[in-house]
Amino acid sequence: MKPEAFATSATLPSPSRRTFLKTSVTAGGALLLGFRLAPGEAATDATTAFAPDAFIRIERDGTVTLIMCQVEMGQGTYTSISAILAEELDAKWDLVKVEHAPPSDALYGNPTFKEQMTGNSNSVRAFWMPLRKSAAAARAMLVAAAAKRWKVDASTCTTGDSQVMHAASNRKLAYADLIADASRIEAPKDPPLKAVADFKLIGKPLKRLDTPDKTNGKALYSIDVLPEGVKFATLRACPVFGGKVGRVDDAKAKQVPGVRQIVVLDDLVAVVGDHMWAAKQGLDALEITWNEGANANVSTETVWTQLRAASEKEGLVAKNEGDIAKGLAQGEKLDAAYEVPFLAHATMEPLACTAHVTADSCEVWVGSQVLARAQKTAANATGLPVEKVVIHNHLLGGGFGRRLETDYVDKAVRIAQKVDGPVKVVYTREEDIRQDIYRPVYRDVISASLADGRIVGWKYRIAGSSIFARFIPGVFKFLKGVDGDSVDAAADLPYDIPNVHVEFVRDEPPAVPTGFWRGVGPNNNVFAVESFIDELAKKAGKDPVEFRRGMLGKNPRALAALNLAAEKAGWGSPLPARSGRGVAVQTSFASFIATVIEAEVLDDGDVRLRRIVSAVDTGIPVNPDTVIAQLQGGLIFGLSAALWGEITIEKGRVQQGNFNDYRVLRINEVPNIEIHVIPSAEAPGGIGETGTNAGPPALANAIFAATGVRLRRLPIDRAQLARKTS
Amino acid sequence: MINLNVNGEARSVDVPADMPLLWVLRDVLAMTGTKFGCGIAQCGACTVHIDGMPVRSCLLPVGSIGERKITTIEGIGATPAGAKVQKAWLDFEVIQCGYCQSGQIMSAAALLAAKPKPDDADIDAAMAGNICRCGTYVRIRDAIKKAAEVA
């Protein structure tokens, strides 16, 4: 892989009748590219390339271009997907180049979601077999083409480094020389796949393909695009959710040098200028009166009063095993409720979208986890047919679920409709945080009973928003009103418990829009479950690790992870005063992870992280270094939320606006994080969101071990942890 | 017109003197490697060097720079410390989404240029102004130490 793969036209074939290429030179001379295949026409002209499917294109110069069915937002998926394809294709790794996919649910739909979507830590899980089969079929076609030319049996040929070899006659043919012949071979339906033991790329710590350009400023994010003649805009939507624009006095804004246009829409105001500075100055100079609407009195208190009441009601049953009434009637009972707040995503790249709308065309530059959805959003906003919307994806400066939404595409396109020429709409950080679609508040109520030191009954009710109901209503309907996301890691506990009852109460918070946030449903479930398991261990008089071990007999992969994490963390060894270790076990996203956090609680109640150790069995780790990086980063993401994260509402408005009041962890607050990857030949699990879910309960449990104070609400309440002076 | 020295090249820009350097670089000079993250010098994504010192360009009025030398991520590889940091970043596979990394690399290069053998406390002090949401801090610390070992 050459470092310029994302940013030059060198990776592209010459235009043919089935493909077309658009390049445009920006004001700064950087070349932007948009390479598109018409849906259903992935195969290119056989004289220029062998393109057996939507994922692979072998050029005459030997370049193997892989079209990325999932988006790169830092999680390393471009490298992992490329490794899977190149492995089964036996492509020469150094000649592999990657390309952002065009919008197409049909060609690039995620097999789990049935649409072009990157999320739920499932890129590798969902595409593992489809990509292997796809690449293996392509390889078989190349082999068949060579065998035919040599008049030998295909089974006597082998492949490696983008060549077909025939050892008996000592002949070789490069894939590049088989393009035309292979294009005439019919794709086999069930091509043989490699044995795990024969993998050359998968399972090795490969260098990432996207990182060289990220060290020198060349990597192109959507916020960086500069189509010729682009203007710059920034916007303000009504700060009260659901409110509308009232009166706008733009007299002062028009005086700001560089301001070109004021765009007033029903729900937002934007200022267009020669650069972002002019737009921002102009926006600040506007005098806007809002029609705040029905939500003007909503506050955090309103939200929690409503949710707490809802959480006391019976819910829809998500799981019922054994006899819960009988289970809860035995032994000693314990009840607890856990609460988590609204959270913003705060991706480092603020939301941005560039659009150029004319009477009969719309071109959009964006970073999206759902490119085909984004294209439809632009079509809806303009009234143009979908095929008239040309949309380009980019590297994402963080996703975390925020770029699963297309609200910012809708807003940018509606602004662009009023502007002559392309306009780049960039959110200020304040707008990015105040117009987010938030991780919902949840309240989890759990009751359990203990007999002979074991859990014999477990009743778990989750109350909160259903993101499915808005985001994938068909699935929500299919599940008959149970939000599959909210109960995900609740219905699938790691432990062997005989009587389990899980239910869901849907309670949509007033005013505040809710969406997926890294870790999704399990980020709430794992905090509640693993905190409560610790409380039960205490009640049973058992060590938290020992207590969990006793219930993992039927879950050897989780047990192995727990044993390894406990050993590596020195579980049980002495610690200084007001320091403690906490453990958490989780099995969501088909990965088996145990985490031990060592934390110190200072006299003023602040918490210092001392050490973090995780052990993970994620099946075959496609790129083990990425597995480690995702756990390290995910832990920090989750711990930022546990230690600081909370969006609060007053008068219908979000009160936070930037990194000064929406705090995230900084380098000086983060200790060493050791990740131990357990070798496995099982199918790969998901990894991108797992660390996020591991952090909060392990921290809460460490704080309990250090102080005896049980925190059942996030973020942590330092006032409860301050040393009491007697 | 305001005259600037960017990565050793003379550039002239016709912009208000109070315009922050960040937007001059990104929107006028089309040098988009320097990133916008917060606009209030909280996140460090916009870090550049002014005469070798790390500065948050989102709050730096372009008219205040004068003849001092501006170095951005596009030019930092030409400095010994910058080249070492870029290499260590790849050797340790520090980067995830990468959006904050221009700023991280600029802060780390300034640290190494000023203090060739930093300890953990030096690294924390120099890098605490640079936020990374992907959580690459552990590797940043390792990579800076490794870069410091390279003669």
pLDDT tens column, B28-63: 999 999 999 999 999 999 999 999 999 999 999 999
Picking from A221, A275, A634, the nearest residue to B135 by CB comes out as A634
Q: Hey, are the CB atoms on B124 and A668 less than 8 Å from each other? A: yes
Which chain A residues have a beta carbon less than 8 Å from that of B28? Answer: 275
Residue A14 has pLDDT above 90, yes or no: no
Which chain B residues have a beta carbon less than 8 Å from that of A280? Answer: 39
A138 lies in the same domain as A32: yes
Q: Hey, are the CB atoms on B96 and A76 less than 8 Å from each other? A: yes
Query: Residue B70 corresponds to which tokens in the numbers above?
Result: 């501006």
Q: What is the domain extent for residue A70? A: 3-214
Cα separation, A494 vs A503, in Å, equals: 17
Tens of pLDDT, residues A319-338: 999 999 999 999 999 999 99
Q: Which of A193, A214, A235 is the last residue of a domain?
A: A214
CB A273, CB A260: distance < 8 Å: yes
Q: What is the 3-state secondary structure (H, E, C) of A381-428?
A: HHCCCHHHEEEECCECCCCCCHHHCCHHHHHHHHHHCCCCCCEEEECC
Mean per-residue pLDDT for A368-377?
Answer: 98
Cα separation, A101 vs A36, in Å, equals: 8
Distances A463 to A500, B30, B122 between C-alpha atoms, Å: 17, 49, 46
pLDDT value of residue A692: 98
**Torsion (CA) A402, A403, A406, A410 in degrees, nearest 10:** 100
**Superfamily covering domain B76-149:** [2Fe-2S]-binding domain (1.10.150.120)
Which chain B residues have a beta carbon less than 8 Å from that of A660? Answer: 40, 42
β-pairing, A268-273 vs A442-451, is unpaired
pLDDT value of residue A45: 60
Mean pLDDT (chain A) is 93
- Helical residues (DSSP H) of B2-149, grouped into ranges: 21-23, 80-91, 101-114, 120-127, 137-149
A605 lies in the same domain as A466: yes
- Is the overall model pTM greater than 0.80, yes or no? yes
End-to-end CA distance of chain B: 42
Topology of domain B2-71, CATH: Ubiquitin-like (UB roll) (3.10.20)
Question: If you measure CA to CA, which chain A residue comes closest to B131?
Answer: A666
Question: If you measure CA to CA, which chain A residue comes closest to B29?
Answer: A28
pLDDT value of residue A46: 64
Residue A357, domain member (yes or no): yes
Lowest mean pLDDT, pick from A20-34, A323-337, B18-32, B116-130? A20-34
Query: Residue B120 corresponds to which tokens in the numbers above?
Result: 């953990």
**Torsion (CA) A78, A80, A81, A86 in degrees, nearest 10:** 110
Picking from B45, B86, B96, the nearest residue to A215 by CB comes out as B86
**Which of A504, A136, A449 is closest to A313 using CA atoms?**
A504
Q: Hey, are the CB atoms on A226 and B20 less than 8 Å from each other? A: no
Residue A610, domain member (yes or no): yes
Residue A431, domain member (yes or no): no
Q: Which amino acid type is present at position A203?
A: G
Residue A726, domain member (yes or no): no
Mean per-residue pLDDT for A642-657?
Answer: 98
Tens of pLDDT, residues A69-80: 999 999 999 999
- CB contacts < 8 A, A to B, total 187
3-state secondary structure of B38: coil
Cα separation, A40 vs B120, in Å, equals: 55
Asked if B95 has any chain A CB less than 8 Å from its own CB, the reply is: yes
Residues belonging to chain B: 151
Picking from A76, A347, A426, the nearest residue to B133 by CB comes out as A347
Mean per-residue pLDDT for A424-431?
Answer: 98
Residue A418, domain member (yes or no): yes
Tell me the ipTM for this assembly.
0.98
DSSP A166-190: EGGGTEEEEGGGGHHHHHTSPPPSS
- State percent of chain A over pLDDT 70: 93
Residue A26 has pLDDT above 60, yes or no: no
Tens of pLDDT, residues A406-420: 999 999 999 999 999
3-state secondary structure of A600: strand
Tens of pLDDT, residues A618-637: 999 999 999 999 999 999 99
Distances A494 to A25, A447, A551, A566, A587 between C-alpha atoms, Å: 54, 17, 8, 17, 6
Tens of pLDDT, residues B61-93: 999 999 999 999 999 999 999 999 999 999 999
Q: Hey, are the CB atoms on A217 and B97 less than 8 Å from each other? A: no
Distances A476 to A80, A185, A523, B13, B145 between C-alpha atoms, Å: 31, 43, 20, 55, 50
Q: What angle do CA A684, A685, A689 make, to 5 degrees?
A: 140
Q: Hey, are the CB atoms on A635 and B102 less than 8 Å from each other? A: no
Query: Residue A459 corresponds to which tokens in the numbers above?
Result: 């009743």
Lowest mean pLDDT, pick from A37-41, A47-51, A670-674? A37-41
pLDDT value of residue A711: 98
Mean per-residue pLDDT for B109-126?
Answer: 97
Where is A352: in which H helix or E strand? strand A352-357
Position A649 confidence tier, pLDDT thresholds 50, 70, 90: very high
Query: Residue A624 corresponds to which tokens in the numbers above?
Result: 């083990």
pLDDT value of residue A48: 84
Residue A359, judged by CB atoms within 10 A of its CB (0-12, 13-18, 19+), counts as exposed
**Number of C-alpha atoms within 13 angstroms, CB side, residue A427?**
27
Q: At what angle do helices B137-149 and B120-127 cross, to 10 degrees?
A: 120
A-interface mutation test, from B93, B94, B145, most A Cβ less than 10 A away? B93
**Which of A120, A418, A130, A403 is closest to A261 using CA atoms?**
A418
A-interface mutation test, from B18, B123, B137, B144, most A Cβ less than 10 A away? B137
Residue A574, judged by CB atoms within 10 A of its CB (0-12, 13-18, 19+), counts as exposed
Residue A447, domain member (yes or no): yes
Which chain A residues have a beta carbon less than 8 Å from that of B89? Answer: 211, 215
Gap from B19 CA to chain A (nearest CA, Å): 6
Picking from A215, A232, A635, the nearest residue to B89 by CB comes out as A215
Gap from B22 CA to chain A (nearest CA, Å): 9
Cα separation, A334 vs A536, in Å, equals: 7
Q: Which of A392, A426, A460 is the last residue of a domain?
A: A426
Residue A17 has pLDDT above 50, yes or no: no
Q: Hey, are the CB atoms on A217 and B32 less than 8 Å from each other? A: yes
Which chain A residues have a beta carbon less than 8 Å from that of B31? Answer: 28, 217
CB A84, CB A202: distance < 8 Å: yes
3-state secondary structure of A334: strand
Structurally, how many domains does chain A consist of? 3
A464 lies in the same domain as A611: yes
Gap from B67 CA to chain A (nearest CA, Å): 22
Residue A432, domain member (yes or no): no
| Domain chopping of chain B, boundaries | 2-71, 76-149
Q: Hey, are the CB atoms on A232 and B124 less than 8 Å from each other? A: no
Q: At what angle do helices A407-416 and A371-382 cross, to 10 degrees?
A: 40
Q: Hey, are the CB atoms on B42 and A659 less than 8 Å from each other? A: yes
Tens of pLDDT, residues A199-250: 999 999 999 999 999 999 999 999 999 999 999 999 999 999 999 999 999 9
Q: What angle do CA A405, A122, A97 make, to 5 degrees?
A: 90
Mean per-residue pLDDT for A447-461?
Answer: 96
Hey, CA dihedral for A375, A376, A377, A381, is it positive or negative? positive
Which chain B residues have a beta carbon less than 8 Å from that of A350? Answer: 36-37
* Chain centre distance of CA B132: 14
CB under 8 Å to A153, separation ≥6 — which residues?
Answer: A147
End-to-end CA distance of chain A: 65
Question: If you measure CA to CA, which chain B residue comes closest to A274?
Answer: B27
pLDDT value of residue B151: 59
Q: Hey, are the CB atoms on A349 and B29 less than 8 Å from each other? A: no
Q: Hey, are the CB atoms on A214 and B98 less than 8 Å from each other? A: yes
Q: Hey, are the CB atoms on A275 and B23 less than 8 Å from each other? A: yes
Query: Residue A417 corresponds to which tokens in the numbers above?
Result: 């409709």
A241 lies in the same domain as A143: no
CATH number of the domain to which A511 belongs: 3.30.365.10
DSSP A633-702: HHHHHHHHHHHT--B-EETTEE---STTTS----GGG---EEEEEPP--SPP---TTHHHHHHHHHHHHH
Q: Hey, are the CB atoms on A215 and B125 less than 8 Å from each other? A: no
Q: Which of A426, A450, A480 is the last residue of a domain?
A: A426
Asked if B92 has any chain A CB less than 8 Å from its own CB, the reply is: no
A637 lies in the same domain as A704: yes
Which chain B residues have a beta carbon less than 8 Å from that of A226? Answer: 30, 32
Query: Residue A307 corresponds to which tokens in the numbers above?
Result: 């949710």
CB under 8 Å to B83, separation ≥6 — which residues?
Answer: B77
CB A363, CB A355: distance < 8 Å: yes
Name the B residues in 63-82 with CB < 8 Å from any A CB: 72-74, 76-77
Residue A353 has pLDDT above 70, yes or no: yes
3-state secondary structure of A594: strand
* Domain B2-71 identical in fold to domain B76-149: no
Gap from B129 CA to chain A (nearest CA, Å): 8
Question: If you measure CA to CA, which chain B residue comes closest to A673?
Answer: B138
